[in-house]
Amino acid sequence: MTAQPSPEPADRAHPVAPADRAVPTDRAGLPELRITTVTVTPVAFREPPLLNAVGVHEPYALRAVVEVATDQGLTGLGETTADEGHLERLRTAAGAVTGLPVHALSRMRARVAAALGGRTGSDLHGLTGPITAASTVDRVFSPLEVACLDVQGRAAGRPVSDLLGGRVRDEVPYSAYLFHKWAGHPGGPPDDWGEAVDTAGILAQARRMVDAYGFTALKLKGGVRPPQEEADTVLALHEAFPGLPLRLDPNAAWTPETALATARRLEGVLEYLEDPTPGLDGMARVAAGTAIPLATNMCVTAFEHLPPAVARRSVRIVLADHHYWGGLHRSRLLAGICDTFGLGLSMHSNAHLGISLAAMTHLAAASPELTHACDTHWPWRTEDVIEPGVLALADGAVRVPTGPGLGVELDRDALARLHEQYLACGLRTRDDTGYLRRTDPSYRRRTPRW
Amino acid sequence: MTAQPSPEPADRAHPVAPADRAVPTDRAGLPELRITTVTVTPVAFREPPLLNAVGVHEPYALRAVVEVATDQGLTGLGETTADEGHLERLRTAAGAVTGLPVHALSRMRARVAAALGGRTGSDLHGLTGPITAASTVDRVFSPLEVACLDVQGRAAGRPVSDLLGGRVRDEVPYSAYLFHKWAGHPGGPPDDWGEAVDTAGILAQARRMVDAYGFTALKLKGGVRPPQEEADTVLALHEAFPGLPLRLDPNAAWTPETALATARRLEGVLEYLEDPTPGLDGMARVAAGTAIPLATNMCVTAFEHLPPAVARRSVRIVLADHHYWGGLHRSRLLAGICDTFGLGLSMHSNAHLGISLAAMTHLAAASPELTHACDTHWPWRTEDVIEPGVLALADGAVRVPTGPGLGVELDRDALARLHEQYLACGLRTRDDTGYLRRTDPSYRRRTPRW
């Protein structure tokens, strides 16, 4: 868990009682907002066949909507992934936190950790780096924390960003998220976006993204075509969109040698190169050999990865993701660590719905440490669980909601419809590799591939 | 500011506008709590002649009470030191934050930084390590932030600890703070505590402290007598109070060689040794040669000190002090950094009044990362500015206030009286060395001395 030698206290009686040994009581009799029920509703929403280094997105993305209800009648919202194992852990955690006040976030996290008992999650798709017991706690705790902050904000009449130190910007910049993609899902009709399996396809997609949403930064999901071809595409984007910061994310599909050779062609062109190669050591080797800053959402995905990453100088930018990093307060901690240790800060995104976009936007708004526009899959989704009107992507940015809490409301009809879709679609765990292999049985996942 | 190489973004257009360029507006029309006036009142309270490595405490300690008033009628309290230069910087900052909402803490800090314009404070007494422009901002911002959190808590009907993630303990453990001292101030009568200039005096003081307040940890301020004599005193304390964790703080009065020789006698006896020698390199040298954990409030007193301290393994425990570390939110950040990088966490104290004790107690209550009982000068003070009744030291701990905000109220008569005392006492900057030299003109400050 630590990079430092023997930080244990000396062999003396330990004067500080462990947290959560005694449950605090509310002696002054202030009305507390105690959790009465936690409802976890898995949903599925349609997704295009987006390609990445380990396969292709299935027809539906799975998410879970978390509703935290309190004894004062206020309810808060959270959103997270919905792989079967994660759902099961989330339900275990939900039982453990029921009865706690919504302000007791540190005790809540300790209860979640105790309830999970050291269990470690996994990602079948393998895109999020090594998962540990501690980072599993953070992943499970996150939607509960967000929902409790939603309640706190509603109770206080303040937006969630105000609970995190207050917003430092009215609009949060997001980057276009360009994907290689098929024209449509196998056996189905072409979707609205059409095929993008070469430079021309990506350029057309980027043009439409920029025209429709005003993006001022472009990210290309790579690791799909051979590295030199993807570098060609980046150079073409550079020419077509002069002045727009560009990022490339091959999801660790390259060896350090390939990464260094490819980076050589992209110096002065890329704003940053995200996870070109696996592991802290490989990343450090690449970092030492290129002027392009390396960013990560794969080799630094939990607090315990930070000390070795700092010591080895593996990365210069960390992509925060409150779903992985234990919620909004702990993502603020990550931001402060990055600032303290001279690391830049951007934001990662999985496929998500409006509750997550609201949380991401409040977090980014309240983070002076943010140095780069955030990622979002938002334009790719065509369905949602929140009432429309509050969140919109224009001029490459989302205006920060200013209503109480997250500022978004659940659309119960939509929630019911997407839950039905979850029940009907049959998907229970994200499996990009398996889905690609149904089209191409010869496909094998290899990291690195080139 | 950083320990890492070239963390600057690449030479691309920067997509994220600097914080505070545009002032957010409150579009949803929620009532904000805007700061209307900030009142800074310097006070002086009587102190005994406590000895340390650079001299002796003067007859009065100087503090400033900060009152932040808002347009909704709510007022919050902060407390800080009151050296003349700090007061002047604080008043500059007060003007800069007027008009901001009390939740806009990040923008507030940015405004304070801009108003100070890179000015760097100083401590004439030299007990708090190197001061930089950034740490000067944190020192000035701190009481404003605490007062704003007091307002936030009062508005929400929640204790300040609830704004920091919620308390994980109902009682915060404090350590007895033993001092070598004269019987009384030169020319005055002996005070109630009497003389303590040798082992017998310290033992008697410790006994009274433990009997009166139930302390379960003892800290001896050292750097006053020769190191081997102070080690003798620690060994005598160990014998007299078996099982009680002991700390010794020579305030960097020793060379690394002296520190190593003295530490050898105290292994298995000391819980930790605080700042035996000056500087990160000297501390690292001592740390490598003793099994006793080293703690610090002198070589790690600002965020920029953390990367080199981690890299050199200079310390194993950091003593947080929200007055130095930019308030309660940033002290939570420090705690999270310590936890992430395998460092223990304790808390430093200067002479302080009840507003600071309340803030320290809320912070410690909401810090699961706390590994050691906190320091406090509390038993040495005989006057205060808050109404009595909420804060009490019993069984070595302070119960966490559960009323809204900090949970303490200003005693306006006491404030007026201590302000008159400030005006009358003539002290404007803490000068322990100068005060000792008035008794012993041959006294010279030397760091290290032995």
Q: Read off the pLDDT of residues B100-111 as tens digits, 9 standing for 90 and up.
A: 999 999 999 999
Six token digits for residue B245: 């964790």
The verdict on A389 touching B (C-beta cutoff 8 Å) is no
* CA distance linking residue B345 with residue B371, whole number of Å: 5
Q: Give residue A225's pLDDT.
A: 98
pLDDT tens digits for range A78-103: 999 999 999 999 999 999 999 999 99
Q: Give residue B17's pLDDT.
A: 46
Closest CA in chain A for residue B290: A10
Which residue type sits at B282? G
Residue ranges of A 416-435 with Cβ closer than 8 A to chain B: none
What is the arrangement of strands in the sheet containing A60-70, beginning at the earlier edge strand? A35-46, A60-70, A75-81
Q: Give residue A13's pLDDT.
A: 33
DSSP 8-class letter at A241:
S
Q: Of B102, B45, B31, B2, which is closest to residue B430 (Cα–Cα)? A: B45
Look at the alpha carbons of B240, B241, B245, B251 in this order and tell me if their dihedral is positive or negative: negative
Q: Can you tell me the mean pLDDT for B337-344?
A: 98
Check which CATH number belongs to the domain holding A168 and give it: 3.20.20.120
pLDDT tens digits for range B220-231: 999 999 999 999
A375-379, B4-8, B186-190, B320-324, range with the lowest pLDDT: B4-8
Let me know if A205 is exposed, middle or buried by CB neighbors in 10 A (0-12, 13-18, 19+): buried
Per-residue confidence band for B49, with pLDDT thresholds at 50, 70 and 90: very high
Indicate whether A30 belongs to any domain: no
**Complex-level ipTM:** 0.93
* CA distance linking residue A155 with residue A302, whole number of Å: 31
Structural Rg of chain B based on CA atoms: 22
Look at the alpha carbons of B96, B102, B104, B109 in this order and tell me if their dihedral is positive or negative: positive
A3-7, A406-410, B338-342, B370-374, range with the lowest pLDDT: A3-7
Chain A partners of B17 at a C-beta cutoff of 8 Å? 169, 173
Above 90 in pLDDT, residue A393? Answer: yes
Six token digits for residue B272: 């930790």
Indicate whether B333 belongs to any domain: yes
Above 60 in pLDDT, residue A382? Answer: yes
The verdict on A402 touching B (C-beta cutoff 8 Å) is yes
Peptide bond into A448 cis (omega under 30): yes
pLDDT tens digits for range A102-119: 999 999 999 999 999 999
Mean pLDDT value across chain A: 93
| Residue recorded with tokens 């009107």 | A389
Per 3-state DSSP, chain B is made up of helix, strand and coil in percentages (nearest 5) of 35, 20, 45
Interface mutation vs chain A, best among B8, B34, B103, most A CBs within 10 Å:
B103
Chain A partners of B105 at a C-beta cutoff of 8 Å? 165-166
How many angstroms away from the CA of B2 is the closest CA of chain A? 5
Q: Give residue A11's pLDDT.
A: 31
Report the alpha-carbon angle B366-B372-B375, nearest 5.
85
pLDDT tens digits for range A10-51: 333 334 544 443 334 444 446 789 999 999 999 999 999 999
Indicate whether A301 belongs to any domain: yes
Q: Could you give the percent of chain B with pLDDT greater than 90?
A: 90
Nearest CB to B341 within list A2, A101, A330: A2
Peptide bond into B448 cis (omega under 30): yes
Nearest CB to A9 within list B3, B13, B271: B271
Per-residue confidence band for B273, with pLDDT thresholds at 50, 70 and 90: very high
| Residue recorded with tokens 């439409």 | A208
Six token digits for residue B216: 């379960």
Q: Give residue B16's pLDDT.
A: 56
The verdict on B124 touching A (C-beta cutoff 8 Å) is no
Q: Which residue range is the domain that position A193 belongs to?
A: 161-417
Per-residue confidence band for B129, with pLDDT thresholds at 50, 70 and 90: confident
Above 50 in pLDDT, residue B19? Answer: no
Catalytic residue among A305, A322, A329, A348: A348
Mean pLDDT value across chain B: 93
Indicate whether A94 belongs to any domain: no
How many angstroms away from the CA of A13 is the closest CA of chain B? 6
Q: Give residue A14's pLDDT.
A: 38
* CA distance linking residue A319 with residue A274, whole number of Å: 9
Q: Give residue A4's pLDDT.
A: 34
Per-residue confidence band for B349, with pLDDT thresholds at 50, 70 and 90: very high
Indicate whether A49 belongs to any domain: no
Q: Of A355, A374, A356, which is closest to residue A364 (Cα–Cα)? A: A374
Give the C-alpha distances (Å, rounded to integers) separating B179 from A86, A354, B292, B361: 54, 58, 22, 22
Q: Give residue B6's pLDDT.
A: 32
Above 90 in pLDDT, residue A222? Answer: yes
Cβ pair A209, A181 in contact under 8 A: no
The verdict on B12 touching A (C-beta cutoff 8 Å) is yes
Q: Give residue B30's pLDDT.
A: 64
The verdict on B307 touching A (C-beta cutoff 8 Å) is yes
Q: Give residue B27's pLDDT.
A: 43
**A322 a catalytic residue:** no
Chain A partners of B372 at a C-beta cutoff of 8 Å? 9, 15-16
Q: Give residue A16's pLDDT.
A: 55
- Backbone phi, then psi, for A95, in 5-degree steps? -65, -35
Per-residue confidence band for A427, with pLDDT thresholds at 50, 70 and 90: very high
Indicate whether A294 belongs to any domain: yes
The verdict on A313 touching B (C-beta cutoff 8 Å) is yes
Long-range CB contact pairs, B185-190, < 8 A, 24+? B185/B48, B185/B49, B185/B59, B186/B49, B186/B438, B186/B439, B188/B59
Chain B partners of A342 at a C-beta cutoff of 8 Å? 1-4, 7, 307
β-strand partners of A317: A295, A344
Contact at CB, B26 and A243, closer than 8 angstroms: no
- Backbone phi, then psi, for B37, in 5-degree steps? -145, 150
Q: Give residue B178's pLDDT.
A: 98
Counting Cα atoms < 13 Å in the Cβ hemisphere of B353 gives: 33
Nearest CB to B169 within list A17, A156, A244: A17
Cβ–Cβ pairs < 8 A, chains A and B: 264
- Active-site positions of B? 221, 348
Catalytic residue among A86, A221, A352, A377: A221
Indicate whether B231 belongs to any domain: yes
Q: Give residue B239's pLDDT.
A: 98
Cβ pair A307, A279 in contact under 8 A: no
The verdict on A377 touching B (C-beta cutoff 8 Å) is no
Counting Cα atoms < 13 Å in the Cβ hemisphere of A238 gives: 18
Indicate whether B380 belongs to any domain: yes
Q: Give residue B304's pLDDT.
A: 97
Q: Can you tell me the mean pLDDT for B184-212?
A: 98
Contacts of residue A349, defined as CB under 8 A and 6 or more positions apart, other chains included, come to A177, A321, A360, A374, A375, A376, A377, A378
Above 60 in pLDDT, residue B63? Answer: yes
Cβ pair A120, A136 in contact under 8 A: yes
Q: Give residue B130's pLDDT.
A: 82
Closest CA in chain B for residue A27: B402
Domain tally for chain B? 1
Beta carbons within 10 angstroms of residue B413's beta carbon: 10
The DSSP H or E segment spanning A218 is strand A218-221
Q: Can you tell me the mean pLDDT for B90-95?
A: 98
Give the C-alpha distances (Å, rounded to integers) separating B246 from A374, B234, B361: 49, 8, 21
Q: Can you tell me the mean pLDDT for B293-303?
A: 97
Cβ pair A42, A80 in contact under 8 A: no
Six token digits for residue A285: 């080797």
